[in-house]
Structure 1
Amino acid sequence: MLPDHRSPSIRSRIPFAGTACALAVCGVLTACAVGPNFQTPKAPDATAYTPKPLPTETASAPVQGGEAQRFVEGMQIPEQWWSMLHSEKLDRFIAAAMKANPTVTAAQAALRQAQAQVRAQQGFFFPTISGSYSPSRQRNAVGTISPTLTSGDPLFNLHTAELSISYAPDVFGLNRRRVESLQALEDAQRFEVEATYLTLASNISLAAIEEASLRAQIDAQQRIVAIETKLYNLLQKQFTLGFVSGLEVAAARAQLAQAEQALPGLRKQLALQRDLLAALAGKLPADPLDAEFTFDDFKLPAELPVSLPSELVRQRPDVRAAEAQLHSATAEVGVAIANMLPQLTITGSYGGTATVFNQMFSAGNVFWSLAGNVAQTFFAGGTMLALKHGADAALVQAEAQYRSTVINAFQNVADTLHAIDADAETLRAAITSEQAARTTLEITEKQLSSGYVNVLAVLNAEQTMRTATQATAQAQAARFTDTVALYQSLGGGWWNRQAEGTQVGDAGKPARAEVATR
């Protein structure tokens, strides 16, 4: 041990310092944290998402978005999973939205707030040191009371400087449980940030796909209007020549009006979808958007990931956030128990007082004190016991919410897998139906010109064609939507971020990648 080269006068001025430090160290080393210790919940024992195995490959159809997709168990999900749709427009849009969307900014700020709260609570592990200096000018009534000064002078200046130290040893782990609870809430907020990234990217992808679907429906509807306009004009000429009746012309005009009536509604939906994309990008509706989306801007990935059920609970941000909330609730039980136990406080002070500033710490002018205090509440009207019961109930609630979140996560994946399989079959059937309707319409139009069928047959064929084309556009959108939903239901791919400090779509600093192992 190195010798203490400080002068005896200096050592004598702080006789309580070594004792206070020794008590603080002993308090920390011998302390124990009361209450239950958190245990990470086990993953469900499920080995599959659906009661019956689904086909390993989906059906295909000869149209954009009709490609067959193969399920790959355990396939890794890239962090920027939306790039699997092979749309540069979408990639740029999401990158810009990650910078501008206020929801992302709010989530990141909430995370910084949670981190600051943890650091603030950790400060209670250390002693609180404060200093004060109090100068005054005084006059004593020495004729009535004893003089303040030993010299008896009634008029004097008084300078007092004092250094105070207060420390509360964490004997029963009260502060450690509070820090543990706040750290768990920080982790929960960290996963909320990840959920914000995932939700924003998913909402933008879905909105872009819906825009593409609406544009396809508008194009199809405009083609139907053109066909029915051509028929109506033809019937007008034939009516002039006396080949058809006015009833047939009126029927054609009514169907043309119905086809035209559908266009404003579709255009309204497209306008609303553009407004939604603007809002997701952090812009006002009047601000210009750089991209317009059609089905040609997307391509289905040939392979789709299917994470193992045991891995799903570690990948989903909402499940991880619920787990962190459960961790916090567990620590709060320890906080409630520790509050019912004795509280130890150690305080010390060192100072000096004199009538001359530079003599405050001269011999005879120094004062110090060292004191300990143990406080135990014996009666508080049942408050502390009620708080303990409340913490227990909150723990049960957090456990139930965690189980519910896990169940919902598995349901999301199962629903999406069913939808991918069924919607692929639906698109194939829709394409077959549209091709048949188009062929029927072409044949019927030829038969009308030859006089083999009446106008009603053509109108029925046109109505069937209209329904089939709209169904095809919607089925195409469903294939892309299902793919986005699968990536979202599996948690995105945040855990595959390359390194801490990298950016999500060039947005602000993301959540820590190593949080999965905390």
Structure 2
Amino acid sequence: MGLVNHTAIAATAVATAALALAACSFGPSGEPPAMPSPAHYGAAAQPAQTVAAQGVAQRFETGAQPVPEWWRLYQSDALDALVDEGLSNSPTLAATDKLLASAHEQLRAQIGSLLLPQIDAGGQATRQRALGIPEAGPNTVLYNTFVGQVQARYTFDLFGASRLANAALASRVNEQAYQLDAARRALAANIVSAAISAAALDAQIATTERLIQLANEQAQDAQRRYELGSLSHADALNVQQSAATLAAGLPGLRQQQAATRHALAVLLGRTPDAAPPDLDLASLRLPETVPVVVPSDLLRTRPDIQAADAALKAAAAEVGVATAQMFPSLSLTASMGQGGFSWPLALSGAGAIWSLGGSLTQPIFHGGALAAQRRAAADTYDAAVLQYKQTVLAAFQNVADTLASLEHDAQALDAANAAARAARQAYDETAARYRLGAVPVSTARSGEQQYQNARLDEIRYMSTRLSDTAALFQAMGQPPASADDSEKRLAKKD
């Protein structure tokens, strides 16, 4: 009786201590560190809008939410179809989604393994020969045993080790989910950028081919003038050299276009030979309004920052797990079944067997392993804090760079557009004078060359402005998921 009382008192004391300690935190809270919230992203505040280039001045809408399907603002059905196809067919994206589904199942498996009892059923039939003891009779030498039983085991989570381990793995799953969101948005941005680049290269190739044609005509005229004696040989060779140099640059442009189209095909989940046709650069409409999320909200809209936050929470929970492993562990085991030396005996009432037991384990000496594991977990947490800070700073820099790029792109495109307009007007006037016989054909040809060169610069700056706009939409992240969205996502995974 006294032994039972002492056991009950000890069990009560252990349970009380466990409840008290469970209320305490064995690790950091996992809350992200406070980050500065600058008034503006760059070294200088971004203007309310860019300068007008080709008649369009982009307006920065400060405080607006990110646009979920921002590529549709380019008002191109062909571009929309490419992005939709890529998001549906990309093997990389599908593989990432499957890995996330696998992580969800691993979390469910761990929760069931750590928080719920384990129950197993087993049966055993053996035939054995023991040492012969004549005094004990012949049955001690050769006999059969039949056992069937159900076993149960449950470990109490006294100090939260299981709960913290599940929290750590859940945060790792969240990290993968945010990485999937980041991969999906990056894929969309890469498809848009590749489509714009391919369209721009197609326009540059067409313009360069016209320049080469004009240069060859100039070289032919120079050769005829040399043969007539009105031009020196050196001058004729210089014209031929200029034409050949210009032609040498065309294969490089074609190679860039081919590589870009091949890359776009792979992004869409196609083979390179099935690359889609190039878009018409002039058909893409520059979005006139772009959102600029305030720095404090960017922490919630950028998937990479959210992934770093989830990694931070996982590292904090892992510190708690390493701490809880240094405290006692209490397990209960129970089994019941039938057994005997023959089937009739095993199935009879006399063959009933059962057991019930408990074990309490307190780590005492593990060669410093448990303390070292806790210090390692703490160092990992400190690293996660620093990585979170670096991720936030890199996100601020990314936004600052893209905002500055859009302003400078508009300025460069405006100047290039002015140069192209002036060159076009001069060419038109020269061509009119040539038709009247006032100037030779070489003068008219030179005027068109100047215009085509100016047009080539304008195409490059158009492409850069369109691509940098996509980069800014990508840098803003995505609107935070509502509770309804989260429930729909979980239901889809189930």
Taking structure 1 as the reference length, what is the TM-score of the superposition?
0.82
What's the offset of the Cα at 1:402?
0.1
Is the 8 Å Cα contact of residues 330 and 358 (structure 2) preserved in structure 1? yes
- Distance apart, 1:463 and its partner CA: 6.8
Looking at structure 1, the residues matched to 147 and 286 of structure 2 have their Cα atoms a distance apart, in angstroms, of 78
Among 392, 400, 424, the alignment partner of 2:386 is 400
- Per the alignment, residue 117 of structure 1 pairs with 106
- Displacement after TM superposition at 1:77 (Å): 3.0
Residue 217 of structure 1 corresponds to: 204
Q: Given the alignment of the two structures, is residue 53 of structure 1 paired with residue 45 of structure 2, yes or no?
A: yes
Matching of residue 336 in structure 1 with residue 325 in structure 2: no
Which runs of no fewer than 5 residues in structure 1 stay unpaired?
1-21, 503-510
CA distance in 2 between counterparts of 1:183 and 1:299 reads 43
Output the amino acid matched with 2:295.
P
Superposed CA deviations along residues 442-481 of structure 1, whole A, max 9, x for unmatched, are 667869x9898997x9898677555433321110011101
Structure 1 105/285 Cα, relative in aligned 2: closer, same or farther at 3 Å?
same
Match of 1:72 among 58, 61, 65: 61
Paired residues for 1:259-270 under 5 Å = 259-270=246-257
CA contact 1:130–1:165 (8 Å) conserved in 2 = yes
One of 135, 144, 152 as aligned partner of 2:134: 144
Structure with the bigger percentage of helix: 2
Question: Post-superposition shift, 1:404?
Answer: 0.2
Further displaced range: 35-44 or 91-100: 35-44
Q: Report SS of the residue matched to 1:168.
A: strand
CA contact (8 A) 2:32 2:312 kept: no
What's the offset of the Cα at 1:282? 1.9
Q: Root-mean-square deviation (CA), in Å? A: 3.4
Q: Which residue of 1 aligns with 2:336?
A: 350
Per mean C-alpha deviation after superposition, the further-off stretch among 357-366 and 295-304 is 357-366
Is 1:96 aligned with 2:85? yes
Corresponding residue number in structure 2 for 1:297: 283
Which structure 2 residues correspond to residues 229-244 of structure 1 after superposition, within 5 A?
229-239=216-226, 241-244=228-231
SS at match of 1:420: helix
Determine if contact 1:494/1:513 at 8 Å carries over to the other structure: no
Q: 2:268 aligns with which of 278, 281, 286?
A: 281
2:357 to 371, 388, 404: 371
- 2:401 corresponds to 1:412: no
Q: Distance in 2 between matches of 1:396 and 1:214?
A: 47
> For the Cα contact (< 8 Å) 1:349–1:370, is it kept in 2?
yes
Q: Does 1:84 align with 2:86?
A: no
Q: Deviations over 1:188-217 (max 9, x none)?
A: 000010011011111111111111111121
| Contact 2:64–2:291 under 8 Å retained in 1 | yes
Deviation at 1:96, TM superposition (A): 1.4
User: Shift of the alpha carbon at 1:260?
Assistant: 1.7
List per-residue Cα deviations over 1:459-512 (Å, max 9, x = no partner).
98677555433321110011101110111111145748995698xxxxxxxx66
The answer to whether the Cα contact below 8 Å between 2:66 and 2:479 also exists between their aligned partners in 1 is yes
Between 311-320 and 243-252, report the one with greater CA deviation: 243-252
Tell me the CA shift for residue 250 of structure 1: 2.7
Query: What is the distance in 1 between the residues matched to 2:262 and 2:322?
Result: 49
| In 1, Cα distance between equivalents of 2:482 and 2:159 | 39
Name the counterpart of 2:455: 469
Query: Matches of 2:148 and 2:59 in 1, distance apart?
Result: 78
Deviation at 1:310, TM superposition (A): 1.2
- Structure-1 residue corresponding to 2:8: none
Q: Does structure 2 retain, via aligned residues, the 8 Å contact 1:114–1:186?
A: yes
- The answer to whether the Cα contact below 8 Å between 2:121 and 2:150 also exists between their aligned partners in 1 is yes
Which amino acid is 1:210 matched to?
S
Match of 1:3 in 2: none
Task: Check 1:424–1:358 CA distance in 2 against 1; reply closer, same or farther (3 A cut).
Answer: farther
Q: Judge which range, 224-233 or 204-213, deviates more.
A: 224-233
Q: Please, which runs of 5 or more residues in structure 2 have no aligned partner?
A: 1-11
Secondary structure at 1:360's aligned position in 2? helix
Q: Which residue of structure 2 lines up, in the alignment, with residue 195 of structure 1?
A: 182
Percent of paired sites with the same residue? 32
Counterpart in the other structure of 1:4? none
Contact 2:300 2:480 survives alignment (8 Å)? no
Q: Distance in 2 between matches of 1:61 and 1:477?
A: 13
User: Residues 461, 258 of structure 1: CA spacing in aligned structure 2 closer, same or farther, 3 A cutoff?
Assistant: farther
How much does 1:321 deviate? 0.4
Alignment partners' CA distance in 1, 2:242 and 2:491: 59
Q: Is the 8 A contact 1:423 1:479 kept in 2?
A: yes
Q: Is residue 188–residue 325 contact of structure 1 (8 Å, CA) maintained in 2?
A: yes
CA distance in 2, matches of 1:498, 1:80: 19
| Secondary structure in structure 1 of the residue aligned to 2:272 | coil
1:179 pairs with one of 148, 163, 166: 166
Give the Cα–Cα distance (whole angstroms) in 2 for the partners of residues 481 and 233 of structure 1: 40
Q: Which moved more, 1:401-410 or 1:344-353?
A: 344-353
Deviations 1:55-74 (A, max 9, x none): 21212233xxx622111123
Contact between 2:266 and 2:272, CA under 8 Å: does it hold in 1?
yes
TM-score normalised to the size of structure 2? 0.86
Q: CA deviation at 1:297?
A: 3.2
**Alignment partner of 2:123 out of 117, 125, 133:** 133
Question: Does the CA-based 8 Å contact 2:191-2:264 persist in structure 1?
Answer: yes
